[in-house]
Structure 1
Amino acid sequence: MDNLLTPIILGIVEGLTEFIPVSSTGHLILSGELLHFTGERAATFEIFIQLGAILAVVMLYRERFLRLFSRRNLMEGLRFKQRELNLAHIAIAILPAFIFGFLLHDIIKKYLFSAHTVLVGLVVGGIVMILAERLPIPAFATNLDKINFRQCLVIGLAQCLSLWPGFSRSGATIAGGLVAGLDHKTAAEFSFIIAVPVMFAATGYDLLKSWQLITPDFMVTLAIGFVVSFIVSVLAIVGFLKLLNRTKLTPFAIYRFILALAYYMVILR
């Protein structure tokens, strides 16, 4: 990957799409196909730049993460108390995806990482988002500290759908949050927070399996993608929360349908 424009483009794609409900994995796979950047090195690059997106969430929500590890919240988490968002809430929300992701990791990598399967995920995920938005479920949790364990479990089960590339982790978790009784902003913010341990574990696992591909010459490419992903992710998270107050999820679902149709008609047909 000698062309430095490619890691910049993919870093922008990752940053823009990681935390909005359009599927960053799907966009990276489709973008990689268009840029003729595929194979093991491309997969390693796409995994590595997710660390930049993770760092963006940690920076923006640093006070919330510090509160999670305060002595009081650690004790309440160990006792499974629901008074305030604590590590027990996070554990319940991420455990289903960890279990299914670990058991199905090789199958997913082998059979689902292709342009055709991504397009299916984009369409099905869009339909799920629209259905979740239209269900007449009142929002009982209007901030992070009002989320209960049952809602965390619903969101955690919904997150398992995102193991299908193209479905979108944020789309699945936000839709799950709406079904569980969270408002849009709270569902989005909870989606950002639980993304950190999930993405860190998945990224670390994949990098351990492909560390031999990270050569000194490749490090420059990885560093460019990481920095671009971090900067764009910060801007995207802030912008998405503002946009979500006005547009909700349906426009993102429509975008997914248009992208899937356009890519199929122009590239795959």
Structure 2
Amino acid sequence: MHDFIIAILLGVVEGLTEFLPVSSTGHLILAGHLLGFEGESAATFKIVIQLGAVMAVFILYRRRYVSLLKDLLTFSFSNPNKLNAIHMLLAMIPALIVYLLLKDVIKHHLFGPAPVLIGLIIGGILMIVAARARRKVTAENTDDITYKQALGIGLFQCFALWPGFSRSGSTISGGLLLGTSQKAAADFTFLISVPVMLGATVLDMYDSRQHLTSDDLVLFLIGFIAAFIVAMIAVVTFLNLIKRLKLEWFAFYRFALAALFYLLLM
């Protein structure tokens, strides 16, 4: 029963934080440390529950993904005046290359409380800089995003490979600095999240396949469902909040979280 409660709690944490600019990986590492839920099995569990969050976004944006797939199959994806497969690829490739090159370094040296705290702080500073930058907005919605902006957002996404930086925090900050509106950056972030997270999760699950046992099936399923349900709610809520709240408010939360966990863990 104790393990099931932990599974629910971590599933809720994943669902709430995966698409907010506060770092879900950082929250899971810190929460897992506090709950004593660590080790290879715990790491595999955290990979599995990410799929729950991925499925939530896929369902919410299913019409857009179907449209993108149709454009790809009919070879009408080269129109730069509409979000298409090329935008998605340009935003995904940089982080994928860096991940494949530095995967072992990242997992062995950055997945711990101290690196997460550093990532929370530096990522928060980036978000404040982006929120306060005086940039002319050239992309009010996702269909206005250029190939150059998509590639630039993809380069910013590389920061998210450091746990604590936050994928959405990095990409939304990049979008703001490159001339997109906050709403367009958030929408684009959610759209690229499914293929990016799905690819990373599949690779991580393959690497951790020896820890995927039938004994943990129920535990993993509980965490998956909790993450899925909460992520569905969180994404819709965040899209409404992003219209009213400046990115820097999330940065202040990150600073407060880092200070709290510093007192608890160090």
1:131 aligns with 2:129: yes
User: What is the CA deviation profile of residues 58-102 of structure 1, one whole-angstrom value per residue up to 9, with x for unaligned ones?
Assistant: 10001100000114775133xx33131111100000100000010
Alignment-derived partner of residue 28 in structure 1: 28
Letter in 2 for 1:75: F
In the superposition, relative to structure 1, how do residues 27 and 217 fare at CA in structure 2: closer, same or farther (>3 Å)?
A: same
Aligned residue for 1:96, secondary structure, equals helix
In the superposition, relative to structure 1, how do residues 140 and 266 fare at CA in structure 2: closer, same or farther (>3 Å)?
A: same
Structure 1: segments with no counterpart, 5+ residues: none
Aligned residue for 1:69, secondary structure, equals helix
Check whether the contact 1:26–1:166 (CA below 8 A) recurs between aligned residues: yes
Alignment-derived partner of residue 106 in structure 2: 108
Alignment-derived partner of residue 205 in structure 2: 207
Check whether the contact 1:56–1:233 (CA below 8 A) recurs between aligned residues: yes
Check whether the contact 1:53–1:233 (CA below 8 A) recurs between aligned residues: yes
Alignment-derived partner of residue 5 in structure 1: 5
In the superposition, relative to structure 1, how do residues 72 and 52 fare at CA in structure 2: closer, same or farther (>3 Å)?
A: closer
Question: 2:73 & 2:260 partners in 1: Cα distance?
Answer: 48
Alignment-derived partner of residue 44 in structure 1: 44
Letter in 2 for 1:48: V
Alignment-derived partner of residue 225 in structure 1: 223
User: What is the CA deviation profile of residues 238-259 of structure 1, one whole-angstrom value per residue up to 9, with x for unaligned ones?
Assistant: 1111111111211100000011
Check whether the contact 2:72–2:85 (CA below 8 A) recurs between aligned residues: no
Question: 1:182 & 1:239 partners in 2: Cα distance?
Answer: 21
Letter in 1 for 2:161: L
Letter in 2 for 1:4: F
Check whether the contact 2:119–2:162 (CA below 8 A) recurs between aligned residues: yes
TM-score by length of 1: 0.96
Aligned residue for 2:242, secondary structure, equals helix
Letter in 2 for 1:160: C
Q: How does 1:13-162 map to 2 (within 5 A)?
A: 13-71=13-71, 74-77=74-77, 80-162=78-160
The Cα of 1:212 is off from its aligned counterpart by 1.6
Check whether the contact 1:15–1:229 (CA below 8 A) recurs between aligned residues: yes
User: What is the CA deviation profile of residues 98-131 of structure 1, one whole-angstrom value per residue up to 9, with x for unaligned ones?
Assistant: 0001000000000000000000000000000000
Question: 1:47 & 1:212 partners in 2: Cα distance?
Answer: 13
- Runs of 4+ that moved beyond 6 A: none
Question: 2:73 & 2:83 partners in 1: Cα distance?
Answer: 8
The Cα of 1:216 is off from its aligned counterpart by 1.0
The Cα of 1:145 is off from its aligned counterpart by 1.0
Aligned residue for 1:138, secondary structure, equals coil
In the superposition, relative to structure 1, how do residues 73 and 252 fare at CA in structure 2: closer, same or farther (>3 Å)?
A: farther
Aligned residue for 1:70, secondary structure, equals helix
Check whether the contact 1:82–1:148 (CA below 8 A) recurs between aligned residues: yes
- How many residue pairs match? The answer is 266
Check whether the contact 2:71–2:84 (CA below 8 A) recurs between aligned residues: no
Aligned residue for 2:81, secondary structure, equals coil
User: What is the CA deviation profile of residues 19-49 of structure 1, one whole-angstrom value per residue up to 9, with x for unaligned ones?
Assistant: 0000000000000001000000010000110
Alignment-derived partner of residue 195 in structure 1: 193
Question: 1:28 & 1:251 partners in 2: Cα distance?
Answer: 21
Question: 1:120 & 1:83 partners in 2: Cα distance?
Answer: 39
User: What RMSD, in angstroms, separates the aligned Cα atoms of the two structures?
Assistant: 1.2
In the superposition, relative to structure 1, how do residues 33 and 145 fare at CA in structure 2: closer, same or farther (>3 Å)?
A: same
Question: 2:145 & 2:243 partners in 1: Cα distance?
Answer: 19
Question: 2:71 & 2:183 partners in 1: Cα distance?
Answer: 27
In the superposition, relative to structure 1, how do residues 68 and 267 fare at CA in structure 2: closer, same or farther (>3 Å)?
A: same
Letter in 1 for 2:136: P
Aligned residue for 1:20, secondary structure, equals coil
Question: 1:182 & 1:234 partners in 2: Cα distance?
Answer: 25
TM-score by length of 2: 0.97
